[in-house]
Homo-oligomer: A and B are copies of this chain.
């Protein structure tokens, strides 16, 4: 089978490295191009990346020459973007205009009204928004986004509850891992024997993105969910895995049994379509009194699930619980790849490739 050639933008960073490991043996995608910032262009990937993962880089990727993040130089029809915030906004549009499908982990376009902010188990129907983009760009290309790493796991836990019982209020405190800040990211002297109760821009994302994820799509337009969310975001000294404590209030208060059943039974299109990266269970409820824990649960279900535990009554809102998720897998690179797998399984990539004869010829 011919695999779809893909490009990785921002390939040398932490999320870029996760893309590499997720895509190196992918059944449907093949890494064709790697792009990075100007000071790395022209270097071998193995020389430019400060590799952080305990698996080796595949030899042929080590040797691959880094391209600039430029749609004129990068030709793959499907582009995974781990671009830095300050340039992602402009560059992703350029890629889309030139016909590329951009599956992005960057934040600038997440809240654009015509960009689907996607978790395939939660709101795959939002994909309809890409038609608006195609028209706007007069192109077959478009951008689709995954959310912030803290948001994604929050939404995975909230979605089954919101769908069944209707959420009104959510108060969340996060304890976020260091890899969430990229590399070099947080200085060691700033975090060893410390907690920092501030992460720039994070709380706003956690308070607003879920409203779009949980919003209703109809007739080419999206209505955001009507939930009040408040977030306290903190950085702690863990390598990977964001832990969140959450209190929730419902329109119609269910029983704890109802809630646990909602977590246990939650499935979506990725499970139905058996997407390669889909977890068997997107939400896993653990019965132990002291779970989820970062070191024990972040790698469950290949790092693609949200692990929940400690459901109990809350004196202020209705219920409270803790949740945990891997921030660079389901919270970043894994989410971006899963979104692309959804396109593939729906036939949206084949169709797209067929329309890209010129780019194809360039390869």
Residues in A lying within 8 Å of B, measured CB to CB: 14, 51-54, 56, 169-171, 173, 175, 178-179, 183-198, 207, 228-230, 232, 234, 236-239, 243, 245, 247, 289-300, 309-310, 314-317, 320, 322
Q: For residue A348, give the distance in angstroms from its CB to the closest CB of chain B.
A: 35
What residues on B are CB-neighbors of A186 within 8 Å? 187-189
Query: Which of B52, B228, B291, B310 is within 8 Å of A316, CB to CB?
Result: B228
Residues from chain B with a CB closer than 8 A to the CB of A232 are 173, 245, 247, 320, 322
Contact partners of A289 in chain B: CB under 8 A? 198
Residues on the B chain within 8 Å of A296, using CB: 51-54, 194
Give the residues in chain B near A170, CB-CB below 8 Å: 316
On whether the beta carbons of A195 and B175 are closer than 8 Å, the reply is yes
* Structural contact, B187 and A309, CB atoms closer than 8 A: no
| A-B contact list, 12 entries, CB within 8 Å | A183-B187, A186-B187, A187-B187, A189-B239, A192-B192, A193-B295, A195-B243, A196-B290, A197-B245, A228-B316, A229-B316, A234-B243
| Chain B positions within 8 Å of A51 at CB level | 296
Q: Is the CB of B192 within 8 A of A230?
A: no
| Interface pair A230/B173, CB less than 8 Å apart | no
Contacts A51-B296, A192-B192, A195-B293 given; 13 further ones with Cβ under 8 A?
A: A171-B316, A173-B173, A173-B232, A175-B175, A184-B187, A185-B187, A193-B238, A195-B243, A197-B292, A228-B315, A230-B314, A236-B236, A239-B295
